[in-house]
């Protein structure tokens, strides 16, 4: 898949530019990029923005981030990869938009989860991480545990 090609379900968008992705606000941020909610026609997606610098280590990390999510697209426990855009100095990774994250859900509920739910969450996280670790680079970000 090339830059500017976005696939959402059965729909294939070609020659997409950043301007085509209407910014709907921030979803969150971390040490390796910011994630925003974007609209492409009638589809809401998450877009992770990663700056590309001249630093060789940064370039390697950005390439690894893109490669890991691309190779993990067949795993039901990892957000779906829709495509990417490269602009001068920036990489935008387009992904499935989740309704919420576990941290926000816990705060919103203000209660604990039943043990059966905690077990299902743990199994899902482990299966997702196992898939990501099967990618040859063997390096992933474990946001839930950092």
* Closest C-alpha among 93, 115, 74 to residue 27: 93
C-alpha gyration radius of the chain: 16
The low-confidence residues of the chain, meaning pLDDT below 70, are 30-32, 131-146
Separation CA 19–CA 133 (nearest Å) = 34
Q: Cα 51–42–18 angle (5° rounding)?
A: 25
What pLDDT is attached to residue 144? 35
Contact 44, 80 (CB under 8 A): no
What topology does CATH give the domain 5-145? Phosphorylase Kinase; domain 1 (3.30.200)
Q: How far is CA 145 from the centre of its chain?
A: 17
């Amino acid at each position: 898949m090339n830059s500017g090609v976005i696939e959402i379900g059965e729909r294939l968008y070609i020659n997409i530019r950043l301007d085509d992705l209407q910014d709907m606000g921030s979803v969150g941020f971390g040490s390796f990029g910011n994630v925003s909610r974007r609209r492409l026609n009638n589809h809401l997606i998450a877009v992770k923005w990663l700056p590309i610098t001249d630093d060789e280590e940064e370039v390697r990390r950005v390439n690894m981030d893109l490669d890991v999510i691309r190779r993990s697209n067949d795993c039901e426990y990892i957000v779906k990869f829709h495509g990417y855009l490269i602009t001068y100095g920036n990489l935008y990774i387009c992904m499935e938009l989740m309704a919420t994250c576990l941290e926000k859900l816990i705060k919103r509920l203000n209660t604990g989860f039943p043990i059966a739910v905690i077990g299902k969450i743990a199994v899902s996280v482990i299966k997702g991480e196992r898939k990501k670790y099967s990618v040859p680079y063997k390096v992933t970000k474990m946001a839930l545990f950092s």
